[in-house]
């Protein structure tokens, strides 16, 4: 993205801080592709802003952070939403909608730095148990939000892997939707970035996490072991192919070419062992 967008987002952070009555206190952190900018504030709290044309400023990913509240979210280790605001802006004769979300501050570092875990990690059994408990709690949420559309899942898996999915056999459950190691903290677990949450094939979060760890075989194997009960099902197989599709799309736009072969190899194993 351009330096101009980064500068504009920085200005929006300052404007949001004024609206919320907080003071910026740290170095801003850019989101993927400079779509968002976030920073620690007084409180302490965490302030995040984005700006999109009106046609993009709607739907599930627009208000995901603000809607991940209430019961049973209170039992999930995650930041708590404090306030949100929206207002209009105009950049280069193009209308924009600005969204700012203020959340509780998390003082634990993320396990990874992005969508793909690039270094070994040692996570204790208690961390894995807390993650499993949090995701099991998430399953109980009632929502009409969607991470994935069933017909889109079927068509994309057919196009990429040549496998016809029986949607009638797929169980759907509420998922975080973007559960990679860059969205998990340690040693204390907090699940970050709730933009995308909604329904997906059962096991989708575990499947995405396994793809995130694809370059760290021991961690990927631990993910699959911890969530074997959901991954070793028809729905879990579909979830794994949907996650592989997500990561291979990254490769398609030039990101992380090193994961192409191992992700495809894992997808082929799922097709052979679970769908063959």
The Cα–Cα gap between 72 and 70 comes to: 6
The Cα–Cα gap between 87 and 98 comes to: 5
Q: Which of 104, 134, 167 is the last residue of a domain?
A: 104
Q: Are residues 100 and 155 in the same domain?
A: no
Q: Would strands 29-30 and 94-104 be described as parallel, antiparallel, or unpaired?
A: unpaired
Q: Which of 39, 69, 104 is the last residue of a domain?
A: 104
Does 110 fall in a domain? no
Q: Are residues 136 and 70 in the same domain?
A: no
Does 111 fall in a domain? no
Range of the domain at 149: 125-275
Q: Are residues 129 and 100 in the same domain?
A: no
Neighbours of 35 (CB within 10 A): 16
**pLDDT band at residue 1 under the 50/70/90 scheme:** low
Q: Are residues 93 and 195 in the same domain?
A: no
**pLDDT band at residue 31 under the 50/70/90 scheme:** confident
Q: Are residues 129 and 98 in the same domain?
A: no
Residue 37: its H or E element: strand 36-41
Q: Are residues 24 and 96 in the same domain?
A: yes
Residue 158's CATH number: 3.90.1200
Read off the pLDDT of residues 108-160 as tens digits, 9 standing for 90 and up. Answer: 999 999 999 999 999 999 999 999 999 999 998 999 999 999 999 999 999 99
Burial status of residue 122 (CB atoms within 10 A of its CB: 0-12, 13-18, 19 or more): exposed
Query: What's the total number of domains in the chain?
Result: 2
77 has pLDDT over 60: yes
Confidence (pLDDT) at 32: 81
Q: Are residues 93 and 190 in the same domain?
A: no
| Structure token pair of residue 137 | 């709690």
Q: Are residues 138 and 264 in the same domain?
A: yes
């Amino acid at each position: 993205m351009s330096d101009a967008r980064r500068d504009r987002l920085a200005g929006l952070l300052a404007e949001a801080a004024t609206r919320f009555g907080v003071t910026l206190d740290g170095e801003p952190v850019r989101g993927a592709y400079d779509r968002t900018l976030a920073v620690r504030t007084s409180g302490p709290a965490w302030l995040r802003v984005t700006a999109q044309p009106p046609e993009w400023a709607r739907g599930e990913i627009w208000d995901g952070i603000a809607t991940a509240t209430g019961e049973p979210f209170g039992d999930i280790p995650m930041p708590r939403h404090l306030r949100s605001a929206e207002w209009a802006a105009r950049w280069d004769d193009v209308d924009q909608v600005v969204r700012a979300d203020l959340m509780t501050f998390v003082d634990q570092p993320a396990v990874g730095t992005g969508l793909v875990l690039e270094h070994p990690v040692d996570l204790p059994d208690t961390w894995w148990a807390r993650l499993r408990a949090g995701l099991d709690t998430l399953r109980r949420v009632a929502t009409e939000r969607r991470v994935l559309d069933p017909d889109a899942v079927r068509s994309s898996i057919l196009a990429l892997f040549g496998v016809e999915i029986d949607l009638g056999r797929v169980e759907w459950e509420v998922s975080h939707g973007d559960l990679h190691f860059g969205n998990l903290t340690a040693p204390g677990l907090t699940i970050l970035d709730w933009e995308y949450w909604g329904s997906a094939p059962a096991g989708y979060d575990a499947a995405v996490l396994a793809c995130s760890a694809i370059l760290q075989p021991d961690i990927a194997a631990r993910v699959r072991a911890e969530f074997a009960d959901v991954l070793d099902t028809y729905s879990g197989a579909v979830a794994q192919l949907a996650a592989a599709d997500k990561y291979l799309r990254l490769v398609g736009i030039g990101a992380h070419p090193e994961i192409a072969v191992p992700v495809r190899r894992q997808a082929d194993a799922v097709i052979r062992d679970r769908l063959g």
